[in-house]
Structure formats: structure tokens, C-alpha cells
Structure 1
């Protein structure tokens, strides 16, 4: 049985909005780490992920979850962090970093005790087949955790003026449309439990989370980075440069507040 993943230098098909080569990527990953790592890692720790476990993180980005996992499973455990562009993942003891395309590159069979994928599969049209591949990569009884948003309830709560609230809601709707045009499903979070069951997993543990977007909150930093990442597509969709400038000003206004969509953190087991 193979225990290594052959690297792939082939990029993902289609435009990916959060490319690791983007000049905004470092700030985007920092906002993700600050906003979501406590939820992701808390769920894993509560499931008993501890020393000696062999883990796989798919789509590791800048590697904050992978690095935290190496500390959870040391000594004796290992973490394999994969990404199509893993250059932002710093080396660490017990961490293997690999260039890997989860849709097309092979995975070893029955190799990992834990598999983690956060905000990755929603971008892949082949997400359900990927779940079946991840099931085969787990040892019998192994744990998978999928963290994904359902952005259909990403509403503005407070804004300096009613027109600002309408502009923000228009932005979140346009952002979802751009993700769908790139092959993603921004509402997939609510389908994760059913898709895990369909892929053969059992023993689901579902934890929904909603975060506040307000000045000084990491979840707002994430949305501000989304505004930057999606700016070219938003302009193509009919937004004006002045509207994008106004959106940034509105989100930084002390009178602004919004909620994220629901982050569904879902764990399941490969049947023993």
C-alpha cells in the first residue's frame, strides 16, 4: 500500500477566487485563521484527536490547521498537508507538505486516522466523488471533518443608511453568483451531512456556527478580503468603482454589523 502522494503541478480547472498566488492571499489566510481555527480545532479536539494519530488536511492554504494538528498528534503522529499550491505552508516537525489535486491525484487507501477539509469542497464540482475518495483514504473507523459555509443567510444587520444595507446585500448575492460561475456551491454547507451519509459515512456530529461581521472582528476581515478578491468580477457584474469604495467604507463604519452564513462543522466516521 502506498503511503505517499505523488505531486501534481497541474492547476485546478477554472478560475479559483482565492488563489494562493494572489497578493491578497496572506491577509485572507490570516483572517481565516483568526475567525475559524478556534471552531475547527475545538471540534477536532473534542472528538479525541490526540497524539499518535495520522492526519490528512486537504486544501491546507497557509497551513494554520495543519500546524495545530501536528501539535495535537505529537509525539508519534503525522500530518500530511496538501494543496494545489502549497508554497505558503511552512515546514514543521511531523508535517509533510505535498502538492496535490484532490480531484485527480491518487490517495493512499486506508492510511489516515483523521481527514480534515475546510472551505475546499464547496469550490469543486466533483465534491461528492471527492468525499468517496476521502472515505477510502481513512482507516476503518477513521474520522472526517468537513467545515463549509451556507452563505444564503449572509445578511446585513446594521448599516449607516438603508442604501448601504441594500448595497451590501447586493454584494453578497453577486459574490455567490461569481462562486457558482466558477463551479462552486456557496450554499453547500447545508448539504454536507446528507452528502456524507450518501458517501457511506456514519455517526454524524453536526455543529452549526454563525459569526458576527463588525469592525474589529476577524469575520469582517475575511469579508473585506473577499471584496478585494472578487473586485474584478464585481465590476464585470455591473458594480461601479465608487460602489466598491463605498462598500469598503460601510464595512469599516462603526455602525455596521452583519452575520456570516452558517458554518456547518460536520464530523463523521468511515464504518468499521
Structure 2
């Protein structure tokens, strides 16, 4: 869920890419446990009306749909909705959060995972999401800060170098397209500036190793972004080399930090 709105230059992880299905699967495996644990803490239950912005493959939308039941609803939106398996309590819609309207004072819960960091208009989008919440409603934003994802153990110095170059090339691609891959650490402050209360940022870090979901996502990116990574300075030989590094059983690295941040719209007095 993720993968979403785009600026005029084009979103890095295009949903119309033949790789998008695997991108969504990897993201769900790596991040759904974090996202759903935090969503459950809001108390989301039968009768709630929810919005999933940038729903990607729809796994979070379906989780919410099971929670809200037939008396509630989930609106799952994406600028290019694909591969979304439906649910009786869920509606899927094509929607550009940077340009298309949302109803105001409408949703009990809004979730946006790995969306706003890709948008140059992130402050304006955040304000729109706050307006769309009912008084007392919850907003959850899950975002990476990729400034921290160090190598802990590589097969050799060259393996460490090429892995770090791969990460730097991905960061360059995001910034080139108007994104901020470190925005996760700024979400809590942005929520406060937007007027939310009861703000609670929770950082998470995991181990990347062969067979882990988090490293599997990175390995997938070498295929999905092959040409674009070369445009950011990697050679074909280096891409093959970094794939070998990530498949090495001895390789260990830290994930980036993912911040799951919740805030609530103040109730009317």
C-alpha cells in the first residue's frame, strides 16, 4: 500500500510497472504487521468509516474492512489502483490525493503508508487529510527514514561498497522525483503543525538478511528499478554484484527506520 500519488516527473514505483504486483507483495510481508498493530490500537471497530490513501495491493484496506464490518466502510484509493482484491465492506477508487477532493469531517480513521514522502505537496496533502477527519478521528502515517540503514556484515569491502552505492542511487531517484526519503522523522512535527493532538510516533528497525521480507524488498528493487538505477550512476556489473551480496547468507544490514505516527483531530467543544 504505498505506491501512490506522483509528481509531474513520475512516481518512482509506478503501479503500472509489470513489477508492481511483487512490490506490493514485498511491502505487505515486510510492513503489514507494523501497520495493523498500530491501527488496532486506535480501537477501529464495527461501524467506523475509513480511508486508505495509496492503497497499493489493498492488504491494509481488507484488514480494515474486516474490522469495520457491514455497518462500516473502507474507501481504498490510489492514483493507479491495480491488483486490489475487493471486500464487501470496501470500495476502491482512482484518486489523486494531490488534486482530487475529499469529503470533509467524514472519516473516523485515515491511513497513508509510504505516500506523503513521495509528494512535493506533502504539507498540503496532510492538511487535506486532517480536514477529511471527523472530530476525534485518527490519522496514521507510516513512513521511512532511509538516512539510517547501515551495513552490519558484508562478505567483503567491495560488497559493502556496492550495497551502499545501491542505497544512495535509490535515494537520488526519490529526490530527483520530488520525494524526501527522510521524511519519516518529520511526520510527528508535521502532524502537530497541522493541528492534530495526541500525537504518538513509534519507530521500528529490523534486520535485513537473506530470506527476510525487508531485504527481499530491496532485492526486488534491483529488478524493478534496473534502468533507473543505472541512470543514477550504477553499472550493470554493480547491479549484478549487489544482487549477489543480498543473496549471501552471511550478509546483515539494518533496515531503515519506519515511523508509524498517529494523531487525532481534536473534538469540538
Question: TM-score, normalised on structure 2?
Answer: 0.95
Q: CA deviation at 1:229?
A: 2.5
Native 8 Å contact 2:133 2:265 kept in 1: yes
Hey, what does 1:146 align to over in structure 2?
Answer: 141
Native 8 Å contact 2:6 2:118 kept in 1: no
Aligned counterpart for 1:237 among listed residues 232, 241, 260? 232
Hey, what does 1:3 align to over in structure 2?
Answer: none
Asked if 1:120 corresponds to 2:115, the answer is: yes
Hey, what does 1:48 align to over in structure 2?
Answer: 43
Post-superposition Cα deviations, 1:29-83, rounded to whole Å, max 9, x if no partner, equal 1111111001000001022111111000000011010011101111411100000
2:11 and 2:57 mapped to 1: Cα distance?
A: 16
SS at match of 1:190: helix
2:146 and 2:6 mapped to 1: Cα distance?
A: 26
Question: Which one is further off, 86-95 or 113-122?
Answer: 86-95
Aligned counterpart for 2:168 among listed residues 164, 168, 173? 173
2:43 and 2:246 mapped to 1: Cα distance?
A: 38
1:239 and 1:223 mapped to 2: Cα distance?
A: 15
1:54 and 1:77 mapped to 2: Cα distance?
A: 5
Hey, what does 1:7 align to over in structure 2?
Answer: none
Aligned counterpart for 1:32 among listed residues 27, 34, 40? 27
SS at match of 1:238: coil
Q: CA deviation at 1:11?
A: 7.0
2:252 and 2:141 mapped to 1: Cα distance?
A: 27
Q: CA deviation at 1:200?
A: 0.9
Hey, what does 1:58 align to over in structure 2?
Answer: 53
Q: CA deviation at 1:157?
A: 1.0
Aligned counterpart for 1:82 among listed residues 73, 77, 93? 77
Q: How many equivalent residue pairs?
A: 263
Question: TM-score, normalised on structure 1?
Answer: 0.94
Asked if 1:221 corresponds to 2:239, the answer is: no
2:160 and 2:170 mapped to 1: Cα distance?
A: 15
Q: CA deviation at 1:173?
A: 1.3
SS at match of 1:247: helix
> Could you say if the C-alpha distance between residues 11 and 269 of structure 1 is closer, same or farther in structure 2, counting changes exceeding 3 Å?
closer
Question: Any stretches of 5+ residues in structure 2 without a counterpart?
Answer: none
Q: CA deviation at 1:12?
A: 4.8
Native 8 Å contact 1:155 1:259 kept in 2: yes
1:28 and 1:139 mapped to 2: Cα distance?
A: 32
Native 8 Å contact 1:17 1:229 kept in 2: no
1:149 and 1:117 mapped to 2: Cα distance?
A: 12
Q: CA deviation at 1:230?
A: 2.4
Asked if 1:21 corresponds to 2:16, the answer is: yes
Question: Any stretches of 5+ residues in structure 1 without a counterpart?
Answer: 1-9
Native 8 Å contact 2:73 2:90 kept in 1: yes
Please provide the CA RMSD for this pair. Answer: 1.2
Native 8 Å contact 2:80 2:94 kept in 1: yes
2:28 and 2:120 mapped to 1: Cα distance?
A: 25
